[in-house]
Structure 1
Amino acid sequence: MDWGTDLWDQYDHIEKHTQCGHDLVDRYIKFVRERTEIEQNYAKQLRSLSRKYAKRGSKEEQDCKFSNHASLQEILNELNDYAGQRELIAENMMTGICVELTKYLQDLKLERKTHLSDAKKAQQNLEFSLKNLESSKKRFAKEWAEAEKATQQAEKIENDLNATRLDVEKAKQHAHARTHTAEECRNDYAAQLQKYNKEQNFFYYSEIPQIFNKMQDMDERRIRRLAEGYCQFADIEKKVLPIITKCLDGISTAGKKINEKQDSILFIEQHKSGFERPADVEFEDYIQGIKPATSDSSLNPPKTRAKLWPFSKKNKAHAAEDFSHLPPEQRKKKLQAKIDDITKELQKTQDQSDALEKMKGVYEKNPQMGDPSSLEPQISETAQNIGRLKGELAKYETWLAEAVGREETSNAINNNSQYCVVAAEQHPNIYTEFEDEFDDVETPVGQCTALYTFEGNSEGTVSITEGEMLTIMEEDKGDGWMRVLRASGEEGYIPSSYVKLAP
C-alpha cells in the first residue's frame, strides 16, 4: 500500500498531513530548546549554591582540616562537577537535536514545496488539456451544425423549380465546404480526446502516484528522523550518567571518609596548651598560728591563687615574633611551621642562585649570548636573600630549641617537686614548725616593668598597663607565662614577653 495507489485523489489531505508532520518537528524542537534552558538554569543555580556554601578565608581553611568540614567541601566540588554535566546535557541537546532538526526541517519544507509544486503543475497541465478538448469539441459541434444547415439549404435550393443551375451548384459547394470543415473539426476533436485521455491516464497512473509516493517517502523519513531525535533526548543524558554517578559516588565517599575520632584528635593537637593541671589546694590550719595584724602585713598582701586553666574566652594577645605569647605546644608548632616555610624559601632561593651562576658561566664562555655583568645585580640580591633567610632560620631554630629545652626543664622541675612532696609525706614532722609561716608568706623572685598593655580576660590571668611596675611571684617555666603581683594586690599570669626584667 502506498499513497500514490490508494490516495491518488486525496491531494488536500496529503498536503495537510505533511504540513502537520512538519509542525510536529517544529514543536519538538521548541520543546527540547525549553528543556535545555531548564538544564542551563539548573546548572547555574547549582554552581551558585556550591559557591555560596564553599568556605573561604584562613579561619575556614583551618576548619577544613577536620574531616567533616573537608567532606562538605568535597561534596560542594562534586556538586559543581555535577552542574557541569547538566550544562553538557543542555549543550548536546541544543547542538545534536535542536540545531540538526532545525536544519533538517528546512530541507524537508523545501522538498515538500517542490513536490506540491510539481503536483500543481501536473494538475494545471491536465486542466489545460481538458480545456483544449472542450474547445475542439465545441468547435466540432458548431461546424457540424453549420454543415447540416448548409446541406439542408442546398437540398432545398435543388428542389426549388425556380432556382437556377448556378444557385444549385453554389449551394452544393457551400454545403460541401461546411461538411469538410466539420470533418476537420471532428478529426481535431478526436485527436484532442485521444491526447487528453493519454495525459489523464499518465496523470492518474504515473505522474501523481510518483509525486505522492515521493511525499510518502519524505514523510516516512521525517518520522524516522524524529524518532531518532526522541531517542537522542534520552541517549544524551545516558552518556553522562556514568560521570553523574561518579559525582554522586564521590559525595557518598566524602561522607564515608569522615572520622570523628581523628577530628577530635586534631582539635586537641590544635588547641592543647601544654599547661599542667592545678595542684591540690592545701589546708591552712589557722589554729596553730593565728598572728595579729601588724603594719608589716601590708608589705605582704595575701596571695591569690592563680587558676591555670582559662575556661573563659580570652582576647588575642599581641603577637610576638618568637610566638612566646602562645602556650607551649602551640608555640612549638608555630615555630616548626615557620622553620619549614623558611627552609622551602631558602631552597628555592638557593636553586635560583645556582641557576644564575650557571647562566653567568655560559655568558663568560659565550659572550655573544649575553653580558655576564648584567647578572651581577640579581646574583647580589639573591646572595643577600640567602644570607637573610639563613639568619632567620638560625633565629627560629634557636627559639625552637629554647622552647623545647624550657619544656624539658619544666617537666624536670615538676618531677622533682613531686618527688619532694612524696618525701615530705614520708617524713611529716620534719618542717612542722615552719609550715604555717611558709603557707602565709611567699617570697617575690624579682621586679619587672610592663612593656605593653595586656587584657587578662581569662581565668588565672591579670590585666596590666604599659609602664606599670610589677612584682614577679613565679618565673617563666618554659611555657611563656609568669605570675606577677600588682601594687593593687591583684595576682595572676601574664605573657613573659610583655615585660622587661628589672636589673
Structure 2
Amino acid sequence: MRTTSVEFQDQFDSLDKHTQWGIDFLERYAKFVKERIEIEQNYAKQLRNLVKKYCPKRSSKDEEPRFTSCIAFFNILNELNDYAGQREVVAEEMAHRVYGELMRYAHDLKTERKMHLQEGRKAQQYLDMCWKQMDNSKKKFERECKEAEKAQQSYERLDNDTNATKADVEKAKQQLNLRTHMADENKNEYAAQLQNFNGEQHKHFYVVIPQIYKQLQEMDERRTIKLSECYRGFADSERKVIPIISKCLEGMILAAKSVDERRDSQMVVDSFKSGFEPPGDFPFEDYSQHIYRTISDGTISASKQESGKMDAKTTVGKAKGKLWLFGKKPKPQSPPLTPTSLFTSSTPNGSQFLTFSIEPVHYCMNEIKTGKPRIPSFRSLKRGWSVKMGPALEDFSHLPPEQRRKKLQQRIDELNRELQKESDQKEALNKMKDVYEKNPQMGDPGSLQPKLAETMNNIDRLRMEIHKNEAWLSEVEGKTGGRGDRRHSSDINHLVTQGRERLSCSQKQGSEQKIHGATVCRHRLLRPGKIPRFRWSWVAYAKEKFNC
C-alpha cells in the first residue's frame, strides 16, 4: 500500500518538474522575442541614421538635387526611411502583442502552478496523516492483543495450578477480561481508522489527485496554446507590414526607372553652358611673301628706272628686312593688297577686266580687327575663372553669359510673382477700404492707410528691381547677339583673306601697266563719295595702308 503512495509521489514530482520546464520554456521564448525586438529597433535606428547621413542638407534652393539619378537616390532614401518606420512598427507590435502577453501569462502560470502544487501536497499530506493514524491504531491493537494473550495464558496456568489460591485465580481472570476488553476497543478503533484511511486513499487517488492533475494538464495545454498564439502573432506582426514594405520596394523600383540619362546630360549642358564664343580661326601668315616679292622684282625688270618707282615706305621696309639679323626682328607684315585681288575678274578666254568688289572694304576691316592674331574668348575664360574665386555680384556678372541670363530670368520671374502678390494685396486693401468707407461701423478706413502705403512702397521697389534686372538681361542678350554677328563677319573676312592669299602669287606676275591701272582704279573707287555706305575712317585707313 505504501509503495503505491511512493510511486505516486515520484510521478507528482515529475509533473512538478515538467510544469516548471514549461514555464521556463515560455520565458525563454519571451527572451527570444525581446532580443528580436531589440534587433528590430536597432535595425530601424541604424536605417534612419543611414538615411539621415546620406540625405542632403539643403541650406538653399540652389543645392537641391536636379539630376534624375540624384532625385531617384533621394526617393530611395525616403522609401528606406519609411521601411525603417515599418521595422519600428514590427518591433512595437511584437513588444505589445507577443512579449508583453508572454510575460503576463508566465506570471499567471507561475501563480496557478504554485496553487495546484500546493493542493496536491496538501492532499498527500492529509493522506499520509490518515495512514499514520491507521498505523498507530493497528500497532496499538496488535499490542493489546498480545497483552490479552499473555493474560489468558496466565489465567490458564493459575487455574490449572492446585497450589494457587482462589484470589489469585480471580485476579488473573479479571486481568484477562480487562485485556480482552481493551483489545476489542483497539480492534474497533483500528477498524475505524482503517476504514477511514481506505476512504481517504480512494478519494485521494480517484478524486483529488486526478482533479489536480487535470488542472495541471489544462494549465500546460493553455501554455502550449499561448505559445502557438504567440508564434502566430510573431509572424502576423511581420506579415501586417508586408504590403507597406512592398509599396516601399515598389517605390524604389519606380525611382530606379525614373533615371533618365539624356535628361541628366541635358542638365549638365544647361548648367555649364557659358555662352562664350569659341576662339576664331588663326589667319594664315605667309612668311614667304618677301621671297616672292624679291624674285618677282628681279625677274620682271632689273632696270634702275623700275626700282626707282618704288615708294619710300617699301624701300624702308626692304632695308629693315635685310638688317633684322643685326637688330630687332620686325613684325611680319601683311601682303600688299594687289589690284588683281581687288578689282579683276577672269573671263572664259583668259582676259581680265576691272570690276568693283566689296572685298577691299572687308579686307580693310579684317586688317583693323586682326592686325595681330588673338583669341577673343581667352579673355572671357580668364575673367570667368578669376571671378569665381570672388564673391557673387548682384547682376551676376561673375557668371558666364548663358548662366547669367538664366539667373537673371529666374530672379525676374520671382520678382514678378512677388509683385503679383503685392498687387493682389493692394487690390484687397482697396476693396476693404471701400467697404469701410461705405460702412464706417465695420472699421476705420484710415487704419488701412499705413498698410496701403507699405504695399505701394513694396510695389515700387519690386518694379524698380524688375526694371533693373530686365536691363541687365537685355544687356546680356544684346552681347550674345553681337557676338554672333561678329562671328559671322569674322568668318566672311577669313574667307576673303584666304582668297586674297591664294591669288597673291598670280598678282605678282602681272604687268606693270595693269598694276598701275588697277592702282588708279582702286584709288578712284575708294573715295568717300563713291562708297557712301562705308565709314570714311576705313577708307582713310586703306589709303594710308596701301599708299593710295
With the shorter chain as reference, the TM-score category is 0.7 to 0.9
Relative to 1, partners in 2 of residues 1:433 and 1:218: Cα closer, same or farther, differing over 3 Å?
Answer: farther
Aligned ranges 1:415-430 → 2 under 5 Å: 415=488
Structure 1 residue 67: Cα displacement = 1.4
Structure 1 residue 193: Cα displacement = 0.6
Q: Are 2:468 and 1:392 aligned?
A: no
Equivalence for 1:329: 402
Relative to 1, partners in 2 of residues 1:380 and 1:134: Cα closer, same or farther, differing over 3 Å?
Answer: farther
Q: Which one of the candidate residues 413, 420, 435 is aligned to 1:347?
A: 420
Aligned residues of 2:37 and 2:95 also touching (Cα < 8 A): yes
Equivalence for 2:71: 70
CA distance in 2, matches of 1:355, 1:169: 142
Structure 1 residue 400: Cα displacement = 2.6
Equivalence for 2:347: none
- 117-126 vs 282-291, greater mean Cα deviation: 282-291
Equivalence for 2:241: 240
Relative to 1, partners in 2 of residues 1:154 and 1:363: Cα closer, same or farther, differing over 3 Å?
Answer: farther
Relative to 1, partners in 2 of residues 1:114 and 1:363: Cα closer, same or farther, differing over 3 Å?
Answer: farther
Structure 1 residue 420: Cα displacement = 7.0
Deviation string 1:439-491 (CA, Å, 9 cap, x unpaired) is xxxxxx9xxxxxxxxxxxxxxxxxxxxxxxxxxxxxxxxxxxxxxxxxxxxxx
Aligned residues of 1:8 and 1:209 also touching (Cα < 8 A): no
Structure 1 residue 314: Cα displacement = 1.5
Relative to 1, partners in 2 of residues 1:364 and 1:184: Cα closer, same or farther, differing over 3 Å?
Answer: farther
Count of matched residue positions in the alignment of Structure 1 and Structure 2: 429
Secondary structure of the corresponding residue to residue 280 of structure 2 = coil
- 235-244 vs 406-415, greater mean Cα deviation: 406-415
Equivalence for 2:385: 314
CA distance in 1, matches of 2:61, 2:469: 27
Deviation string 1:198-240 (CA, Å, 9 cap, x unpaired) is 1111111221122112212221221222233233333322322
Which ranges in structure 2 are unaligned for 5 or more consecutive residues?
Answer: 1-6, 291-313, 322-326, 332-367, 508-517, 524-536, 538-548
Equivalence for 1:193: 194
Structure 1 residue 158: Cα displacement = 4.5
CA distance in 2, matches of 1:305, 1:413: 14
Equivalence for 1:381: 454
Equivalence for 2:224: 223
Q: Bigger radius of gyration, 1 or 2?
A: 2
Structure 1 residue 177: Cα displacement = 3.1
CA distance in 2, matches of 1:255, 1:73: 11
Structure 1 residue 113: Cα displacement = 1.1
Equivalence for 1:147: 148
Structure 1 residue 326: Cα displacement = 2.8
Aligned ranges 1:102-121 → 2 under 5 Å: 102-121=103-122
Secondary structure of the corresponding residue to residue 241 of structure 2 = helix
Deviation string 1:165-214 (CA, Å, 9 cap, x unpaired) is 56555543443233222212111111111111111111112211221122
Structure 1 residue 137: Cα displacement = 0.9
Aligned residues of 1:85 and 1:240 also touching (Cα < 8 A): yes
Equivalence for 2:304: none
Instruction: Give percent identity, aligned residues only.
Output: 49
Structure 1 residue 145: Cα displacement = 2.5
Structure 1 residue 381: Cα displacement = 3.3
| RMSD of equivalent CA atoms | 4.1
Aligned residues of 1:63 and 1:69 also touching (Cα < 8 A): no
Relative to 1, partners in 2 of residues 1:303 and 1:410: Cα closer, same or farther, differing over 3 Å?
Answer: closer
Aligned residues of 1:8 and 1:204 also touching (Cα < 8 A): no
TM value normalised by structure 2: 0.67
CA distance in 1, matches of 2:442, 2:200: 92
Relative to 1, partners in 2 of residues 1:21 and 1:355: Cα closer, same or farther, differing over 3 Å?
Answer: farther
CA distance in 2, matches of 1:46, 1:218: 42
Structure 1 residue 125: Cα displacement = 0.6
Secondary structure of the corresponding residue to residue 10 of structure 1 = helix
CA distance in 2, matches of 1:28, 1:211: 27
CA distance in 2, matches of 1:80, 1:368: 56
Equivalence for 2:358: none
Secondary structure of the corresponding residue to residue 314 of structure 1 = helix
Aligned residues of 1:66 and 1:263 also touching (Cα < 8 A): yes
Equivalence for 1:484: none
